[in-house]
Structure 1
Amino acid sequence: MQTKSKPQILKVEEGSIVTPLGFSTAGLHTKVKRKRNDLGVVYCEVPADSAAVYTLNQIIAAPLKVTKQSLAEEGKLQAVVINSGNANACTGDQGLIDAHLMRDAVADLFSIKNNYVAVASTGVIGEKMPMDKILPGIGNLAPQKSFDAANQFNEAILTTDTCMKTTCFETTIDSKKITMAGSAKGSGMIAPNMATMLGFITTDAHIPHEYLQVALKEVTNETFNRITVDGDTSTNDMVIVMASGLASNNALSPAHEDWEAFIQLLKQVCQDLAMMIARDGEGATKLIEVNVQGAATDEEAGMVAKTVVGSDLVKTMVFGSDPNWGRVMMAIGRSGMTLDPETIDITIGPHPLLVGSQPTNYVEENLSSYLNNEKVEINIHLNIGDGSGKAWGCDLTYDYVRINASYRT
């Protein structure tokens, strides 16, 4: 009996969120923000099996409540509308009314059921929605399947982001080409579970809602839940996946022989977006990747990695290119995970610093030079098991304080 080969996941270099079959987007400026586009929509020509994961903050913004209501009906979506510049969070009964108004306006625009519309918002918390600008803007949304239209949407979802975040990959399932793409925003109030982030993922795979939800939850735990910038979790975090089914593969489920190919495709898209968000942390100059091996379990390895990359002292060490690796050891110790204090190895880049918890004779100048790179890798081996995991974050800089001290002005 032949073992099924590992699925081949290919990057689509010119791909965008509209590359999968059935999807189009639009983005425009309604003057909620001073300059950039601030209203966008993802539209699917057919009702798409959909899934979502949401913030674990107990304070949940009105758009998320409306989106949950929409998905609870049939597990399908045909449009997602998003505004930036105002989070519609902590806005009381009026906020919920406004989120429903946005949903209904989009449903009317495309002549679809209102439960086929999801709503997302991002921006300042606690301010009433400028519906006098948003509702006319919705009426002007005209989705297209073009690279320019995708970028108009990508811009519309940004807040303090310095760049658009988008990616696209493909694989083969049932001898059919399956494409998946994503667009995301996020650069501050980012902490695991999930981040101050919004993610929109499209695919032409045929996968029922219940199995798509299983896949998204599994992959989120290994990607979006492994990034951190500042330890804060937003009220508006959400990732939505829409599957048009237009690639005409057989319905995917965990019993399908190509299930793992789909999981790996989703993981690659989510990991790509997660790393872009971490790299674009407010004021950040460096991406930090922490790899943990030899942990008791994969879950514990992930928790150690998240603790290290989330440590303010580790972040400032990387920002200052100061090889104070004791901060990494400190973070490992306070992670609360299973470990043996006498068996830990730490390597930063190509430089072994600790072997069996014993310091090595490294050259400090060489390590300082490595820490000047735009990406810094910290590798940890606990030597107690077979568990492995990763997490991503960024350095903590003076600009982070400057940006957030004047966020509303």
Structure 2
Amino acid sequence: MPLLLTNKIVEIENGNILSPQGFTTAGVHAGLRYAKKDLGVIISEIPASSAAVYTTNQFQAAPLKVTQESIASEGFLQAVVVNSACANACTGDRGYMDALKMRSLTSEKFNIKEHYVAVASTGVIGEYLDMDKITNGIESLSPGKLNSDAVDFQTAILTTDIVMKSCGYTASINGRTITIGGAAKGSGMIHPNMATMLGFLTTDAAISSENLSAALKNVTTNTFNQITVDGDTSTNDMVLVMANGMAENHPLTPDHPEWETFIELLTKACEKLAKQIAMDGEGATKLVEVEVLGAKDHEEAKFIAKQIVGSNLVKTAIFGADANWGRIIGAIGQTNALINPHRVDIAIGPIQMLKNSVPCVFSENEARGYLNQPFIKILVDLHVGNGEGKAWGCDLSYNYVKINASYRS
């Protein structure tokens, strides 16, 4: 059943990249991986206004450069082709030409203008794509509208992920039902700014690429940019959104009376995917949410929240169900944010640990019981201003080391 989130936003049960009108998708096994699907595509029936945000890593991979060129041409996309297993990063001129070849092959296969195709890759850095397998794989793609087609695509983009990430939401805007869907991958090298994962969003809203770009940049600041798994930033990844206008609403602009409804819709989708990525961090057993209140401003609140959730000492304490609030204090104190050392409150779930910087008496057994749950909430109030911010991450387990010690094998 649909889940009503606000008076306007409704979550679609089992929502996915195909929830909006006018999109199809597919995923196949091209042979880049031993057995699993490794090549996928998203197709819009008509050219869609598009925007993307990209990793800030200085070694941006070839697919990102090709995608940037495609979007810059007219601001429209009609297809996104994605492969896993090989990042096509740090591969020089050959890697760039291979990314262009992926674009041209997809263009020919689906009779789409070449600059209406975006390219994305994820996997091992420093290895060349097997273009024979890519060519055969693209030729075998047969996009459809079934839920199984969405699952095939979601499977094809995974690397070390344990679970697939997807979402779907609707909202009524000027009497039209606007829908947004999403799919993402990511579980390691997650410390976005923007962004160390692949995220794909589709919507049937009518909106220009310029306004879509502004909306996406605004929303990712408070969602994807507020997750961390291991503090490392990838070479490849991005979040991309396509809006094909098939809902036939009046074009959305910042002056539109329902602009904030669309921003909320986009935010819900991005936050859902971001939390799923944080929960599926390599070796993770718990999703951690840190909320900071009373900071000097919102930016400092978000920074402190991310500092806490990214602290290895905090993450390992959560893994071990150790209510060591001193590690939270240590993470806060490392920042240059405005702090009053005599006014800090800390709570782990319902259990108050610190009040006005004075330790509270609490039950270690109760705290351990709470910390053994799959979702952990840490609340910090600094009492120096009105700034608020959230960040999401996960615990740090033995399995994280095991996974990353043998990533290429």
Give the TM-score band, short-chain normalised: over 0.9
Does structure 1 residue 391 correspond to structure 2 residue 391?
yes
Normalising by structure 1, we get a TM-score of 0.98
Q: Equivalent residues in 2 for 1:101-120 (5 A)? A: 101-120=101-120
Q: Supply the AA of the counterpart residue of 1:127.
A: E
Corresponding residue for residue 44 of structure 1 = 44
Residue correspondence of structure 1 range 6-25 to structure 2 within 5 A = 8-25=8-25
Following TM superposition, by how much is the alpha carbon of 1:174 offset from its aligned partner in structure 2, in angstroms?
1.1
3-state DSSP class of the match of 2:144? coil
Q: Does the residue aligned with 2:264 lie in a helix, a strand or coil?
A: helix
CA offsets 1:45-96 (integer angstroms, 9 cap, x no match):
0000000000010110000000000000001000000000000000010000
Structure-2-length-normalised TM-score = 0.98
- Give the drift of 1:31: 1.1
- Is 1:57–1:233's contact at 8 Å kept on the other side of the alignment? yes
Q: Size of the alignment, in residue pairs?
A: 404
- Aligned position for 2:34: 34
Partner of 1:3: none
Identity %: 56
In the TM superposition, residue 363 of structure 1 has moved relative to its aligned partner by 1.3
The amino acid that maps onto 1:306 is: K
CA distance in 1, matches of 2:127, 2:241: 28
Residue pair 2:195, 2:239 contacting (<8 A) in 1 also: no
The 3-state SS of whatever aligns with 2:45 is strand
**Does the 8 A contact of 2:27 with 2:149 survive in 1?**
yes
Number of the residue aligned with 2:363 = 363
* Residue aligning to 1:238: 238
Matched-pair contact (CA < 8 Å) for 1:7–1:171: no
Question: How far apart, in 2, do the equivalents of 1:85 and 1:337 lie?
Answer: 40
Question: 1:335: how far off?
Answer: 2.1
Once the two structures are superposed, the pairs formed by residues 227-306 of structure 1 within 5 Å of their partners are 227-306=227-306
Q: Runs of 4+ in structure 1 displaced over 2 angstroms?
A: none
Residue 195 (structure 1) shift: 4.5
- Tell me whether 1:223 sits opposite 2:207 in the alignment: no
Give the 3-state SS of the residue equivalent to 1:369 in structure 2: helix
Task: Say what the alpha-carbon RMSD is for the aligned residues.
Answer: 0.8
Partner of 1:60: 60
The one-letter code matched in structure 1 to 2:343 is T
Q: Deviations over 1:276-327 (max 9, x none)?
A: 0000000000111000111111111100000000000000000001111100
| SS of corresponding position for 2:49 | strand
- Specify the code of the residue in structure 2 equivalent to 1:307: Q
Q: What is aligned with 2:153?
A: 153
What's the CA shift for 1:14? 3.3
Please say if residues 204 and 243 of structure 1, whose CA atoms lie closer than 8 Å, have aligned partners that are also in contact: yes
Distance 1:7 1:85 in 2: 42
> Contact (CA 8 Å) 1:7, 1:261: kept in 2 or not?
no
Shift of 1:7: 5.4
Query: 1:311-347: per-residue Cα shift (whole Å, max 9, x none)?
Result: 0000000000111110000101112211111111000
Rounded Cα–Cα distance in structure 2 between residues aligned with 1:282 and 1:61? 22
C-alpha distance in 2, partners of 1:7/1:186? 31
State the Cα distance separating 1:353 from its structure 2 match: 0.5
The farther-off stretch of 357-366 and 276-285 is 357-366
- Does structure 1 conserve the Cα–Cα contact (< 8 Å) formed by 2:289 and 2:391? yes
Deviation at 1:167, TM superposition (A): 0.5
Alpha-carbon contact 1:26-1:141 (below 8 Å) kept: yes
Alpha-carbon distance in structure 2 between the residues aligned to 1:269 and 1:368:
32
3-state DSSP of counterpart to 1:53: strand
The CA deviation string for residues 107-159 of structure 1, in whole angstroms up to 9 with x for no partner, is 11111111100000000000011111011110111111110100000000000
Q: In structure 2, what is the Cα distance between the partners aligned to 1:175 and 1:385? A: 40
8 Å CA contact retained: 1:195, 1:227: no
Contact 2:180 / 2:203 at 8 angstroms: preserved in 1?
A: yes
User: In structure 1, what residue type is equivalent to 2:320?
Assistant: G
Q: How does 1:122-141 map to 2 (within 5 A)?
A: 122-141=122-141
Matched, 1:379 2:379: yes
Query: For 2:314, what is the secondary structure of its paired residue?
Result: helix
